[in-house]
Structure 1
Amino acid sequence: MTRRVVITGMALASPLGSTVDSAFNRLKEYKNCVRYWEELDRFDKLNTRLVATVEGFETPKHFDRKVLRSMGPISIMSVATAEEALKDAGLLENSLIQSNKTGVSYGSSSGSLNAIFDFYSMYVDNKVKNLNSASYIKMMSQTAAVNISLYFKTHGRLIPTSTACTSGSLGVGYGYEAIKDGYADIMISGGAEEIHPTQIGVFDTLYATSTLNDTPSLTPKPFDKDRDGLVIGEGAGTLILEEYEHAKTRGAKIYAEIVGFATNTDGTHITNPNKDMMREVMKDSLKSANLSSKDIGYVNAHGTGTYRGDIAESNATYETFKRNVPISTIKSYTGHTLGACGAIESILSIQMMNNNWFCPTLNLKNIDPECAPELGYIISEGKEIETQYIMNNNFAFGGINTSLIFKRV
């Protein structure tokens, strides 16, 4: 029997702020979080100097040396936001967390990159001086999920999602499926990413980064005809997913219900997006929710600000909805937080739904004629919308596509 899945706790660390309320309120200021990062000046032939770093986050004082020895920044943010989300859900001290019906579904694009350098220094320097027992734990792609499970002593299934920009959304989606299909009652779900010059360098070599280094407030500009690329960000987002009757019985507050989820792959190119498969994942998500496209009142777009990505996504969205569905992208504020984006954007989209207010896409002045201008782009200022259903879409290198649908409860 299919079971209902609700969200009972949320927490984040983001460029907008490190509480859900502060991040949501920052959206209303209509200012992005992008800045010039002097650290990038030392890298020859790197074009961009722009980043969006986490604001207001501090490592919890009770994270002692023993706790931190297996954690890099990715895991620190993941565990800290998971702790806040469990507290928000009223589950932090609950013995249910240590039962075999509580699991973790969480991801990041990679492990902590400085730990990877330590790991490979053995080969470069022919010495093991930089290695210790925690080096591999910090660098492995499942570092966030494993550290969350170890810290909270969970015994249910662990689902690490290391799928680049869909790591967070797959963390939420797979957590949803684990509860829906009866494998868990509670899932700690989400995604995280830490800022690092090498990640910026990867996108820079693809000519995908914004080079408006002197005017960081004017970029990224998703769907605009003058967009010039993305800005890399960082952060973490954790959602506590819970079976509806289980949450209802214990009197938990409920932020939203997950009613639709789909994921698929392009099977065509490692980096170039496939419009047709983007469209199909949205349609599959609607089908899984037993909804019509007319039921969705808002779409949070992946909207990175890249040339090909924005064209493919916008046209896939219009082919799905065939109307001026309200749409905007939170990345115009935070930059692209990679493995964290699906979780952070889900949290903030739910907050917007529950407050009947949706943010605009910053810096969108002139809609690109190739970006389905028939869509209902929210521009310049927020828009008041009362709706029962919203959709959050994310797409990743490797041709991995996701679509989540949330319902107001």
Structure 2
Amino acid sequence: MSLNRVVITGLGAVSPYGVGVETLYAAMTRGQSAITEHPDLKAIKGLRCHIAGLVPELDAREIPRKHRRTMSRMSVFAVLAAMEALESARVDESLRRSEQTGVIIGTTVGSPQTLQDFFAEYLREFSIEQVKSSLFFKIMGHTCAANVAQALGIGGRVMAPSAACATGVQAIGLGYEAIALGRQGIMLCGGAEELHPLTVGIFDIINAASTGYNTDPGRSPRPFDARRDGTVCSEGGGVLVLESLDSALERGVPILAEIIGFASNSDTTNISTPDPGRIEQCMRLALADAGLEPGQVDYVNAHATATELGDPAECRAIARLFGDAVPVSGFKGHLGHTLAASGALELIAVVRMLQDGLCLPTLNLDQPDPECAMVRHVREPEPRIMDIAVKNNFALGGVNASLIVRKFAEHAARHPERHY
């Protein structure tokens, strides 16, 4: 069966640094931390983590009010990111409304703040008299995907994977498969998340949240570091425009990168403790999908949550597959863990790295933990020509996802029938 080649033509981001891909990438290249104290977390009894990555105040009025009324913060993030991605990919209204243009954007859950507001009112008198008709559209599981489709007039399929921290890469991978198989021509893919104390609390309860840097928030999280003490939750939204190579060439739009492989598997050894063998197998499956050998990979962007068990498991898997020569870094030291948005926001940075020939480091990695020292960690920005990168995303619940992305060469556009 002949498959379509799939390329990335648009990027859009809302991150703890602010709105826009350039805002995100510029801050990361400066080595700037997006983590700050979050006063609301201090008010929660029993919650030990008081830091987070919060999206700065933004102006959502660019979104028409008739659409905003069904949006929580996470949907606003997703729509603004999608708008930027569509603009950068030069996708006009007529193309958006085509049945060949679809959306795959996921979240961990629907808006937790909206649920809190509802139950605070409901439990007071067990009444629904004050409930607004827009409530459901903010809490449904596909709230971001549906609101993006409605606000931007997307005419094709709408899908909303929910695989916790693996959601972003899964969404992009599903979009890649849909285009490769010819089911859709263009897809908006990614994830979004809004911060809520309950999210931070879940990580705290399972002893996976950072608690020792509340007075020095920029020093945490610390992926792979000997003094790491857990992850830091953040919020934001990342969206990429994927389309077939034929479509991009016909439209004459800049091609930012090519997606050449994807895999997702299940780790049934433990619902919360990752198995290096299953992580390794996921990456192997993605490489097989791309038709590559491990030695052809130039860089691995790790999931790297800065947790006690997650970081060593991923490092062991990477070392088994790639040895100790391939550069490895993770971006949660910069951004915190944006959960369902992490795969998309981090992949956006990887695409920019491939374009610029710059390998960004793991922020806050001062002294690698001996259990994580078997791979080649990037600890300072490195000018480096890179063609092929692996992007990992793993989730509680045993969901693994890996994506292979390749820098797009101009000669490939002139000979689209050939594989590079």
How far off its partner does 1:88 sit?
Answer: 0.7
Shift of 1:31: 2.6
Q: Which residue of 1 aligns with 2:361?
A: 360
Shift of residue 352 of structure 1?
Answer: 0.8
Distance 1:362 1:8 in 2: 28
Per the alignment, residue 11 of structure 2 pairs with 10
Query: How far off is 1:119 after superposition?
Result: 4.2
Distance 1:61 1:325 in 2: 45
Partner residue, 1:117: 116
Q: Secondary structure at the match of 1:366?
A: coil
Residues 20, 81 of structure 2: 8 Å contact kept: no
Q: String of CA shifts for 1:181-209, please: whole Å, max 9, x gaps.
A: 11000001110001111111111111111
CA deviations 1:193-243 (Å, max 9, x no partner) are 011111111111111111111111211111111111111111100100011
1:382 corresponding residue in structure 2: 381
Contact 1:323–1:375 (Cα < 8 Å) also in 2: yes
**2:132 maps to amino acid:** N
Shift, 1:363, TM fit: 1.5
Q: CA deviation at 1:124?
A: 5.8
- SS across alignment from 1:172: helix
Does the CA contact (< 8 Å) of 1:38 and 1:49 recur in 2?
Answer: yes
Deviation (angstroms), 1:156: 1.6
The 3-state SS of whatever aligns with 2:16 is: coil
Checking the alignment, whether the CA contact within 8 Å between 1:297 and 1:385 is kept in structure 2 is no
**What's the C-alpha RMSD, in Å, of the aligned pairs?**
1.3
Matched, 1:140 2:140: yes
The answer to whether the Cα contact below 8 Å between 1:13 and 1:54 also exists between their aligned partners in 2 is yes
What is the number of equivalent residue pairs in this alignment?
405
* Aligned-partner SS, 1:106: strand
| Partner residue, 2:416 | none
Structure 1 counterpart of 2:150, which letter?
L
Counterpart residue identity of residue 98, structure 2: S
Distance in 2 of aligned mates of 1:306 and 1:226: 10
| Matches of 1:73 and 1:262, distance apart in 2 | 30
Tell me what 2:96 maps to.
Answer: 97
Q: Do residues 400 (structure 1) and 387 (structure 2) align? A: no
Alignment of 1:212-361 (within 5 A): 212-361=213-362
Deviation at 1:351, TM superposition (A): 0.3
CA contact (8 A) 1:118 1:130 kept: no
Question: Retained in 2: the 8 A contact 1:34–1:51?
Answer: yes
Further displaced range: 118-127 or 182-191: 118-127
Separation in 2, partners of 1:130, 1:172: 38
Alpha-carbon displacement from aligned partner over 1:299-342 (angstroms, at most 9, x marks no partner): 11111100000011111111111232101111110000001000
- Shift >4 Å, 4+ stretches: none
Does the 8 Å CA contact 1:393/1:402 hold for their aligned counterparts? yes
C-alpha deviation, 1:71, in angstroms: 0.5
In the TM superposition, residue 61 of structure 1 has moved relative to its aligned partner by 2.1
Does 151-160 or 346-355 show the bigger shift? 151-160
Cα contact 1:304–1:310 (8 A) shared by 2: yes
Shift in Å at residue 152 of structure 1? 2.1
Q: Give the AA of the match of 2:116.
A: F
Aligned: 1:202 with 2:202: yes
SS of 1:79's partner is helix
CA distance in 2, matches of 1:6, 1:345: 17
Residue aligning to 2:412:
none
* Aligned-partner Cα distance in 2 for 1:64–1:25: 29
Partner of 2:10: helix, strand, or coil? strand
1:155 and 2:159 are equivalent in the alignment? no
Q: Is the 8 A contact 2:20 2:84 kept in 1?
A: no
Query: Which amino acid in the other structure matches residue 117 of structure 1?
Result: Q
Asked if the contact 2:102/2:187 (under 8 Å) is kept, the reply is yes
- Which segment is superposed worse, 24-33 or 256-265? 24-33
Q: Secondary structure at the match of 1:141?
A: coil
Determine if contact 1:358/1:385 at 8 Å carries over to the other structure: yes
CA distance in 2: counterparts of 1:181 and 1:123, whole angstroms:
49
Contact 1:118–1:135 (8 Å) recurs in 2: no
Map of 1:83 onto structure 2: 83
Unpaired runs of at least 5, structure 1: none
* Structure 1 residues 229-258: Cα deviation after superposition (integer angstroms, max 9, x where no partner): 111111100100011001101101110000
Look up the SS of the partner of 1:230 in the other structure: coil
Matched, 1:21 2:22: yes
Please say if residues 302 and 330 of structure 2, whose CA atoms lie closer than 8 Å, have aligned partners that are also in contact.
yes
